[in-house]
């Protein structure tokens, strides 16, 4: 197996891991933010933020950036347009994270419980959730193309 196929397998592992994470975050974690009491909220959010770098943040950013690298290191059997579409999905996730989600997390961590900000966090996370889902589908298509018998 050559480097491009190995790299695609690594990308597949990251995207499928993140697919599970993002749906769990969207359907469970973020809605739970509204259930925490106001008095405990800052401590809760700081605890949450201190625990997510390894299981969420690092794999998440890898999930956003690896599809861009895959454009250049994809197996020859994968059409460029699929790799580009996958990179766009990663870019959507990256932009939503940096522009919309991180600032809202900072507001919650510094300003305490804010129902409007929690609602925005959930609502603005949908494009990221769909971007990662789209990337997962495209990555599985690429995997099929790359490992199908000729």
Q: Where residue 137 falls among pLDDT bands split at 50, 70, 90?
A: very high
**What token pair was written down for 57?**
């943040």
Domain boundaries along the sequence of the chain: 3-147
Q: Looking at residue 144, what is its pLDDT?
A: 97
Residue 14 has pLDDT above 80, yes or no: yes
Instruction: Work out the average pLDDT over 116-122.
Output: 98
Residue 131 has pLDDT above 90, yes or no: yes
CA–CA distance, 111 with 138 (Å, rounded to integer): 39
What share of the chain has pLDDT > 90, as a percent? 99
Tell me the per-residue pLDDT of 88-114, one tens digit each, with 9 for 90 and over: 999 999 999 999 999 999 999 999 999
Q: Looking at residue 128, what is its pLDDT?
A: 98
Distance of CA 105 to the CA centre of its chain: 16
Which candidate, 139, 148, 122, 123, places its Cα nearest to that of 74? Answer: 139
CA–CA distance, 139 with 88 (Å, rounded to integer): 12
Q: Looking at residue 68, what is its pLDDT?
A: 97
State the average pLDDT for the chain: 97
Q: How far is CA 11 from CA 14, 18, 21, 81, 112, in A?
A: 5, 11, 15, 17, 36
Residue 27 has pLDDT above 80, yes or no: yes
Instruction: Work out the average pLDDT over 15-26.
Output: 98
> Residue 105 burial by CB count (10 A; 0-12/13-18/19+): exposed, middle or buried?
middle
Q: Where residue 149 falls among pLDDT bands split at 50, 70, 90?
A: confident
């Amino acid at each position: 197996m050559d480097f491009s196929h190995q790299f695609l397998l690594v990308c597949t592992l990251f995207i499928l891991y993140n697919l599970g994470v993002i749906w769990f975050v969207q359907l469970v974690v973020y809605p739970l933010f509204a259930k925490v009491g106001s008095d405990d909220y800052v401590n809760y959010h700081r605890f949450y933020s201190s625990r997510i770098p390894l299981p969420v943040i690092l794999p998440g950013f890898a999930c956003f950036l690896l599809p861009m690298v895959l454009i250049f290191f994809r197996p020859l059997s994968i059409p460029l347009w699929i790799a580009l579409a996958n990179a766009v999905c990663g870019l959507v996730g990256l932009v939503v994270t940096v522009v919309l989600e991180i600032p809202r997390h900072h507001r919650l961590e510094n300003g305490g419980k804010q129902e409007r900000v929690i609602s925005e966090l959930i609502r603005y996370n949908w494009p990221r959730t769909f971007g990662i889902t789209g990337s997962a589908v495209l990555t599985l298509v690429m995997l099929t193309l790359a490992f199908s018998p000729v």
